[in-house]
A and B are shown apart, each in its own frame.
Chain A
């Protein structure tokens, strides 16, 4: 059963003479890493609000913000405005929870960054510095655990606001995020099967060696991406804050910087989800088409290059997030639930079995990890994708908001409506 344990551990084998830094140096470098990541992250999130508005303007053929410093200083102006605005405290709110909610929605997105490796190790005169804040042996599970807490902020905001629209938004978000979390977790199991470990470093290592997971596990990537959209409450999954139905959903009652913190949290979540997609499916900081970045010898330039590559991958996915937001309309609630439970979860489960049996078959046939392995997995994925998009789905299973319902389903709903009307003529009248 050496399906998954066949990789040489590249990073350790590469620099046997360079031990990681320890003691006081480790402590100081960790503080530096924390400060740098936090600064880049916050400035980046601020600039992303500008990017969102510029990209939406570009997609809708408008100009976008172009007044404050030709548009570039718009995030600073927005921030200043939010600090100066009045903080409203509506009547009947649960004050501690009302204040706690924006904080709780922001912290998980930031905490997940602890374990994401963002560059090749950097050699210094004190030893090797790993470009990750905390290299946990259970890194990937840590991310799943921390991101699963993001829902608390939204739920508490909805509940503590003493507002029925906010409450409805909170209810929707908890149902949505718990549902899609399952699909998300299941879609990543094939990655763990391939890597044979749950630490993010070994996942990146495996991709440098055996090809990016987007080729190996295309279907899992699509499930993960859809679930990531749902987890970050971005369109087409922004039902918790659906403006047409719920005013502004869970943050209806928030103003000034508290509202802004929810906004920051949304963008922070987006960046974290993009980093996860880059790490799990696109090789993390791995420089494409080279092996030197994984084998070494490491240098400072290589570290900088790999950090740049990782940033570029993240920005690409952030762009995809924005692109989708300004392209697709919102799901209906029943479509959201049926997509999550009736389509994505079963698909993810079947996919786990498929990948596991293919891996067993390949190891029984004696094919080592590498070119052929990736080619076989990739072609199987291509087959599954064609099956899913061209044959199974005709605007029915993966129905977007504008998709037709199956005629049988429409007929069933009509019958149900008629039956209800017969029994409770007044109740249905009010329910419409």
Chain B
């Protein structure tokens, strides 16, 4: 039983989907890293629009804020700092075998998604139709995410942040080590 969506909603949903796919495709085919990075930003924007259309406003905004606004800026910063802007230095040097393998893995992932999309959802994942609206009335756009995160999944959440801390510490140690070795 599909809920009925207005034509304009469906149109925009598929529009953003097509933009996301097209930008992702352009992203992997560009040789210049800066151009490629900008196409990736475009992909993330379209994904954010899709999240918002699926009533996940908070996730959509975080997508823009974290990925487009911070991570990709840092990426561009590194590209510029090392002056990697010239395509020849970064051109894909791998052989045909690797490209074929990558294509096969991609196809495998796609078929996995198809299989998952066809199976029935487990019962605990199915929520009533107006669940989102009820949650929104009860909490708010952020509370909808925050309450399960800080109540039901607190341990997983904290463990993830510890994992990030480990990664940051590792990066600092690696960076310092290399600098000391170079002297």
Contacts and interface: CB of A to CB of B under 8 A. Distances in A.
Given A152-B73, A155-B73, A144 B57 contact: no
A160 B38 CA distance: 13
B153 interface: no
B117 interface: no
A178 interface: yes
Contacts of B154: none
B39 to A, nearest CB: 12
Kindly state the interface size class of chain A when it binds its partner: 20 to 34
A138 interface: yes
Contacts of B57: 136-138
Q: How large is the interface on B (under 10, 10 to 19, 20 to 34, 35 or more residues)?
A: 20 to 34
Contact of B70 (A138, A142, A170, A181): A181
B77 A141 contact: no
A197 interface: yes
Contacts, number: 83
A159 interface: yes
A148 B69 CA distance: 5
A145 interface: yes
A174 B73 contact: yes
Contacts of A197: 140, 142
A340 to B, nearest CB: 14
Contacts of B69: 144-145, 148-149, 151, 181
A178 B61 CA distance: 17
A11 to B, nearest CB: 15
B136 interface: yes
Contact of B64 (A94, A145, A151, A171): A145
Contacts of A423: 183
Interface in A72-120: 94, 97
B80 A171 contact: yes
A32 interface: no
B141 A138 contact: yes
A121 interface: no
B76 interface: yes
A312 to B, nearest CB: 30
Interface of B: 32, 34-35, 38, 41, 57-58, 61-62, 64-65, 68-70, 73-74, 76-77, 80-81, 85, 136, 140-142, 183
12 contacts: A97-B35, A138-B141, A142-B61, A145-B62, A149-B68, A155-B77, A156-B38, A159-B34, A170-B80, A178-B73, A178-B77, A423-B183
